Amino acid sequence: KTVGILGCGHVGSDLVCLLAPFKCRVLVRDIVDKSQFCQTHGATVASLDEVIEQSDVLTLHVPLTSATDNLIDEPVLRRMKPTAFLINTSRGEVVDQPALKISLMQGIIAGAALDVFAKEPPTDTEFLSLPNLMVTPHLGGNSLEAVEAMARSAIEHLKDFFL
């Protein structure tokens, strides 16, 4: 299988490393040159078109900017494999949600998993009820490790301020 990663910052690059034991083909697209990183970790730098058209799983790890707002829209979804899955844990506005809904309903792509929405909490129950859509409650920052890191950061900031 081929996993396409759009955005190879901290999360995207960690994902490249996590995928290594699975021996899958990993395509990476980022605005920063990631060729050295990819060569070291067995991934391949690819064009946006290659990532979209060749991925069995397309996972998004980009910030919301004018360039990424609705990056995954109806024309992009139509260029994905009909057997492909889309994962968005970055920003809700990166995916055109109405276009994704239609694509899932019409079988243009096989499925999607979303942790973020343009409007939270999401209210489109028809969309949320689709059998080929998995949603999570945007709780990535609530892991024990994340809470501990936030607590350590708060303590350091207080020490810096008061001492």
Residues serving a catalytic function are 91, 120, 138
Q: Are 128 and 101 a contacting pair, CB within 8 Å?
A: no
* Separation CA 62–CA 28 (nearest Å): 12
> What's the distance, CA 134 to chain centroid?
13
Secondary structure of the chain: what % helix, strand, coil (to 5)? 45, 20, 40
**Which spans in 20-109 are helix H?**
35-41, 48-54, 74-79, 97-105
* Separation CA 77–CA 73 (nearest Å): 6
Q: Residue 54: how many CB atoms within 10 A of its CB?
A: 18
Helix (H, G, I), strand (E, B) or coil at 73: coil
